[in-house]
Amino acid sequence: MAETVLEIRGLKIEATTYPPGEPPVDIVIVEDISLSLEKGKVMGLIGESGAGKSTIGLSAMAYGRGGVRITGGEVLLNGRDILKSGARGLRGLRGREVTYVAQSAAAAFNPAKKLMEQVIEATLKHGLCSRSEAEARAVALFGKLGLPDPERIGNRYPHQVSGGQLQRVMTAMALCPEPSLVIFDEPTTALDVTTQIDVLAAIKDAIHATGVAALYITHDLAVVAQVSDEIRVLRGGQTVEHGTTREIIEAPRQDYTRALVSVRSIEHQPKPPADPVLAADGISARYRGTRFDVLSEVSVDIAAGHTLAIVGESGSGKSTLARVITGLLPPHSGEIRFNGRALRPSLPERSKTDLRELQMIYQMADVAMNPRQTVGTIIGRPLEFYFGLKGEARRKRVQDLLDQIEMGKGYIDRYPAELSGGQKQRVCIARALAADPSVIICDEVTSALDPLVADGILKLLLDLQAQQGVSYLFITHDLATVKAIADSIAVMYRGRVVRYGTKDQVLAPPFDDYTDLLLSSVPEMKLGWLENVIANRKMESAGN
Amino acid sequence: MTRIPFSALLGIAATALFFLSAIFADLIAPYGMAEIVGGVWEPMSAKHWLGTDAIGRDLLSRIIFGGRTTIYVATMATILSFTLGSVLGFTAATIGGWVDQLLSRGVDLLMAIPSLILALVVLSVMPVTLTMLILVMGILDSTRVFRLSRAVAVDIAVMDFVEAARLRGEGTRWIIFREILPNALSPLVAELGLRFIFAVLFISTLSFLGLGVQPPLADWGGIVKENKEGLVYGVAAALVPAITIAVLAISVNLVADWVLNRTTSLKGGRGG
């Protein structure tokens, strides 16, 4: 029996919310959570947003974020109840016995200090060893985490290394004091898929090499399956299911876990070929005042009623292509053709009909809707603007659209703040549909949503396409989404289309190196997937 | 509704009192505005609650009528400065480019000259009427409103919902008044109270210097000026309008603070 590092018994966490115009209300965020973690083991905490996974993770440091209070239970770290430690006791404990790796390394590092200073800071503050010993430890960790030039990378500033490297430096920071427990809070969520697996592999190796216990918090079951020994599925602050990684992935007992495991099970039939409705022809574009082509010679077309997925990592130019097509960024060469005729390059020159035919759905539904307008106004405005619908006729059409997006009655007079994330995105879809467009550009529409909610949105988009024959230009970095929804695929890399064709062509070997890297980087719900991929890669990711 | 804090209630009550007495000055004031009813600088009595002024007019009546002039000028100037400043500020933020440059640099130019001195120069060459006072104060103050509303609108203009409106083909007017204005309202409302107070202080300063409201029309700055010699003889008549200015400033500030607290998201993210 290995020694228990962390034991949580009957944890209860509460917070106070301030609903507008009403007296403050106390709500329970986490209730009756008990868990124990042995030395050298990794426990995955998984759940959707609001499941309480980060809150539980932070409670292992006896910390409550932003007004969150731990109101019941015990948190035993190496056998001591740290909730009773008091401020002085906690100061001696945090950064020494338990450390933390945050999601956004870019926001967590002090941009004005060199990396080495920050990595060894906690170790020195706690007087664990001398400066030279600490630096030696850090360099050893940099090497273990696969950072280039471990001897000298500590002399750089945070902005001088890539996002994936920074995340590994933060892991080094957490491991430097040789703690007994490390909390990883979504450490790879903000990274590109191709970078994510390198960081994931580095973190996994480092955990095993140092024998530290770890809590690994994430919303991505496929990721957690690669690093953890056991998994705890959380929902609404309570445990849904708990078991070894193999049990959870291969034989989930609860319906909710089963839904998480089988997510992205959407399939659609291949469609017969159709004439292109929208075509980009040799598009090159650059931002004003720069001499660098963000897009060079991009040619793709979208068939009527089909979905073209544009895939690539951040910086590949996929969102810029959307800006060019909508006319926000006129290209300096090439043209956009709609139903065979050329569209005017810039937005103000286009006719109202052309604007109507091309609609857009955004990644962040929260900021894509005016918070001071009701759902009725948001969806109703395109009806009024393009078709001159007014009064009762407009309201009726809005309700029809709400029915189409499966929201039904009772939403028309609500404000965006009164909707859930998935509902917000649905309203944005209804707003685009209201214009009765031929093409809808979907810019990462599911990447800010929880997996189950995202699945619902994708299903809705497919249904609407089947009913109305609308075409989608689907921009995403998520290949699982692409596999689910696309008819044809364009893979973009550094402003160029490196692979383009129907879904079957693009996803069938032989692959070019970049497509291979991209395809192989999508985490799969299989044990041992990570090791397999790392062993078989042909190309290093760009963000590495 | 959330409970209104005591300080805000006090501010609202006092501010309302000032505005009501300004509107119904004719009914409330015991004597006429320019009516000479007693001796010079009579002390407070049952007949003249606040005593009389330098030429024997009832001071309470002067304060009430003076309040009407001061509050009227300040209110109109504030309305003018907000309309002008926010429309131009939103336009600059929405259109951007050379329109923004032109407006912003023009405002910089105006702000580079101390507003009191600029006002004195303009008023010494132009006929001093209430309308002229309102215009001068409104335009000078609109530079501050311009800065604020442009800053707020620049943040809003880059949001996706504004881009969505542009993509729909909406005109600048829709974008300014329907997309940006509703979201910029709360910081502007809080600023409204503060700018109103600055307008009160400004008109009082101008009148005290003799370039504001002209006698015999009463206004608070003018009343201080008319009675300031009295201070030498121990007559407190000049202090009365000074106190009313201070009380009005404090009460409007209490209201503005409350509005700002209620709407800002800086305090615990309660704002809407």
Burial tier of A413 (Cβ tally within 10 Å: 0-12, 13-18, 19+): exposed
Per-residue confidence (pLDDT) for residue B101, from 0 to 100? 94
Q: For the residues B117-138, what does the mean pLDDT come to?
A: 90
Most confidently predicted of B37-41, B43-47, B244-248: B244-248
Determine, yes or no, domain membership for B75: yes
Q: Which residues of B are less than 8 Å from A388 in CB distance?
A: none
**Residue among A20, A347, A371 whose CB faces B183 most closely:** A371
Q: Which residues of B are less than 8 Å from A352 in CB distance?
A: 169
Per-residue confidence (pLDDT) for residue A264, from 0 to 100? 60
Cα–Cα distance, A198 to A192 (Å, whole number): 10
Whether B26 has a pLDDT exceeding 60, the answer reads yes
Whether B266 has a pLDDT exceeding 50, the answer reads no
Q: Which fold has domain A276-508?
A: Rossmann fold (3.40.50)
Residue A441 or residue A16, greater confidence: A441
Q: Which of B160, B151, B133, B143 is nearest to B70 (CA)?
A: B133
Q: Which residues of A are less than 8 Å from B164 in CB distance?
A: 360, 362, 368, 431
Residue B217, SS3?
coil
Query: β-strand A230-235 against A213-218: which pairing, if any?
Result: unpaired
C-beta atoms of A368 and B1 within 8 A:
no
Whether B2 has a pLDDT exceeding 70, the answer reads no
Domain that holds residue B57: 24-33+49-263
C-beta atoms of A352 and B170 within 8 A:
no
Per-residue confidence (pLDDT) for residue A29, from 0 to 100? 85
Per-residue confidence (pLDDT) for residue A248, from 0 to 100? 87
pLDDT in tens, A102-117: 888 888 899 899 999 9
**Residue among A22, A364, A372 whose CB faces B182 most closely:** A372
Per-residue confidence (pLDDT) for residue A22, from 0 to 100? 64
**Cα R_g (chain A), whole angstroms:** 25
Whether A543 has a pLDDT exceeding 60, the answer reads no
A39-62 burial string, b = 16+ CB within 10 Å, else e?
A: ebbbbbbbbbeebbbbbbbbbbbb
Q: For the residues B177-186, what does the mean pLDDT come to?
A: 88
Q: Which of A263-272, A361-370, A399-408, B111-120 has the lowest mean pLDDT?
A: A263-272
Residue B94 Cα distances to A374, A452, B60, B88, B198, angstroms = 23, 38, 49, 10, 28
Percent of chain B at pLDDT exceeding 70: 95
Determine, yes or no, domain membership for B147: yes
Per-residue confidence (pLDDT) for residue A358, from 0 to 100? 92
DSSP string, B77-110: HHHHHHHHHHHHHHHHHHH-HHHHHHHHHHHHHH
CATH code of B89's domain: 1.10.3720.10
What CATH number matches the domain at A42-47+86-261, 3.40.50.1220, 3.40.50.300, 1.10.760.10, 3.40.1000.10? 3.40.50.300
Per-residue confidence (pLDDT) for residue B267, from 0 to 100? 35
Residue B89 or residue A65, greater confidence: B89
Q: Which residues of A are less than 8 Å from B152 in CB distance?
A: none
Determine, yes or no, domain membership for B4: no
pLDDT in tens, A361-400: 998 888 899 988 999 999 999 999 999 998 899 999 999 9
Cα–Cα distance, A500 to A479 (Å, whole number): 14
Whether A496 has a pLDDT exceeding 70, the answer reads yes
Half-sphere exposure of A49 (CA within 13 A, CB side): 11
Question: Cα A57 to the chain's mean position, in Å?
Answer: 19
Report pTM. 0.79
Per-residue confidence (pLDDT) for residue A215, from 0 to 100? 92
Q: For the residues A492-505, what does the mean pLDDT come to?
A: 89
Beta-bridge partner residues of A100: A183
pLDDT in tens, B232-252: 887 788 888 899 999 999 999
Q: Which residues of B are less than 8 Å from A368 in CB distance?
A: 160-161, 164
ipTM: 0.77
Which of the 8 DSSP states describes residue A270? P
Whether A541 has a pLDDT exceeding 60, the answer reads no
Mutate to test the interface with A, among B160, B166, B178 (most CBs of A within 10 A): B160
Strands (E), B107-240: none
Q: For the residues A190-202, what does the mean pLDDT come to?
A: 83
The Cα of A356 is separated from the nearest Cα of chain B by a number of Å equal to: 7
pLDDT in tens, A43-63: 999 888 778 888 888 888 888
Determine, yes or no, domain membership for B43: no
**Average pLDDT along chain A:** 87
The Cα of B150 is separated from the nearest Cα of chain A by a number of Å equal to: 18
| Confidence bin at B31 (pLDDT 50/70/90) | confident
Whether B265 has a pLDDT exceeding 80, the answer reads no
Total count of domains within chain B = 1
Whether A428 has a pLDDT exceeding 60, the answer reads yes
Q: For the residues A263-284, what does the mean pLDDT come to?
A: 81
Percent of chain A at pLDDT exceeding 70: 97
Cα–Cα distance, B223 to B69 (Å, whole number): 12
The Cα of A354 is separated from the nearest Cα of chain B by a number of Å equal to: 10
- Residues with Cβ within 8 Å of residue B111, at least 6 apart in sequence: B143, B144, B147
Per-residue confidence (pLDDT) for residue A265, from 0 to 100? 62
Whether A24 has a pLDDT exceeding 80, the answer reads no
Whether A84 has a pLDDT exceeding 80, the answer reads yes
Per-residue confidence (pLDDT) for residue A528, from 0 to 100? 79
Per-residue confidence (pLDDT) for residue B269, from 0 to 100? 33
The Cα of A435 is separated from the nearest Cα of chain B by a number of Å equal to: 9
Most confidently predicted of A494-503, B41-50, B181-190: A494-503
Per domain, the residue ranges of chain A are 42-47+86-261, 276-508
Whether A146 has a pLDDT exceeding 60, the answer reads yes
